[in-house]
Structure 1
Amino acid sequence: MPEQKYEKATFAGGCFWCMVQPFDEQPGIIDIQSGFMGGHIENPTYEQVKSGESGHYEVVQITFEPSTFSFELLLSLYWPQIDPTDPDGQFHDRGPQYRTAIFYHNEQQRKAAKESKQQLIESGRFKKPIVTEILEANIFYPAEEYHQDFHKKNPKEYKKDREISGRDEFISTNWQN
């Protein structure tokens, strides 16, 4: 039997709690971890990242089988989860750790990310500039265990956080049409 070929995809979209569920339980998605990428501290804690001083983004790292669920399909799920025009965070989460970014793991992902961003720009959906960065992936640090699968472990708190953040209202207003 041929060996399965998996890839990684890493997305920053504000609070990582809110970025897991849209990708969860899709065919070809092997694993999703909340964590941190892009900073200057080794093995950062959530508190260090939350302070905004570590330089990390809150991210989700997805292990997927590209023959079942392509990177392009992941991108099509990613964009409608965020406000790609906000350079200072996402919704009520403010600071550099909550900015949006697509971290590519290979040249094919880089090209696909750039193309999807350009398509979004050309669509005219948003009047403000699209500021989501496309960056080369580097070391991924998993967040503490209590952050993993937060939407399943704490469904009431997760739902409340999404509601008060303004994320769901933004998605409904700007993406579901």
Structure 2
Amino acid sequence: MIRRLLIVLALLAAPLAALPAAAAAAATKTAVFAGGCFWCMENDMRGIPGVVKVESGYTGGHVKNPTYRDVTSERSGHYEAVRVTYDPARIEYAYLLSRYWKLVDPTDDGGQFCDRGPSYRPAVFVDAQQRPAAERSRTLAAQRLKTGAMKAQILPLQTFWPAEPYHRDYARNNAVEYHLYRTGCGRDRRLAQVWGK
């Protein structure tokens, strides 16, 4: 009898326990950014307080369920991108935008750093509500550039396709290879030239 009562109580409590998690998920928002190699973008955006999750993937193109090969072949129209899930009670979209600009070379529309081609171009993908903040942020970032002219685009938000599992959390799962790639690609050296130290 007591065992049945405990089971009934557990079943009744389960939906209540799920409420805080569901409420937290409903309270989050997302932002989508392209900035060259998504391994680097994922790693750099992850450390921002208020960011809940960062996912590598593809967006902006016409191919459904694209693969890395589809995207790097330049036939899909997709960009390598990250989807940033954040808590708007802790961080504002405008702050994510200001942080994003410092992680990319927005003067280079031929790719980013050693990664060349359309799939590596910098862009911010927005819905109608995000567009005014993104446009304002882009204008401010253009005024702060130390070299070159702003070429990064603000584009309409499209379906975000998560990357293959081996691309996810790459910097965490492959720390040595990631460090060699990032250093060899010259990403941080170029960012210092574009934005200053």
Same fold (TM over 0.5): yes
Partner of 2:14: none
Computing the radius of gyration over CA atoms, which structure comes out larger, 1 or 2?
2
Give the root-mean-square deviation of aligned CA atoms: 1.5
Superposition pairs of residues 19-58 of structure 1, within 5 angstroms: 19-58=41-80
**Distance in 2 between residues matched to 1:173 and 1:100, nearest whole Å:** 17
**Percent identity, aligned pairs only?**
42
The 8 Å contact of residues 10 and 61 in structure 1, kept in 2 or not, is answered as yes
Could you tell me the TM-score, scaled by structure 2's length?
0.84
Q: CA separation in 2, counterparts of 1:127 and 1:175?
A: 8
- 2:164 corresponds to: 144
**Which structure would you say has the larger RCO, counting Cα contacts within 8 Å and 6 or more residues apart?**
1
Q: Check the 8 A contact 1:104/1:110 in 2, yes or no.
A: yes
Query: How many angstroms does 1:155 deviate by?
Result: 0.5
Q: Which segments of 5 or more consecutive residues in structure 1 lack a partner in the other structure?
A: none
Give me the whole-angstrom Cα distance separating, in 1, the residues matched to 2:111 and 2:156.
Answer: 20
Deviations 1:115-144 (A, max 9, x none): 011112233x24422011101111000000
User: Post-superposition, which runs of at least 4 consecutive aligned residues in structure 1 deviate over 6 A?
Assistant: none
Contact 1:31 1:64 in 2 (8 A): yes
Query: Which letter maps to 1:63?
Result: T
User: Displacement, 1:176?
Assistant: 4.2
Cα distance in 2, alignment partners of residues 92 and 26 from structure 1: 25
Aligned length: 175
What amino acid maps onto 1:129 in structure 2?
Answer: A
SS at match of 1:39: coil
TM-score calculated relative to the size of structure 1: 0.93
Match in the other structure for 1:158: 178
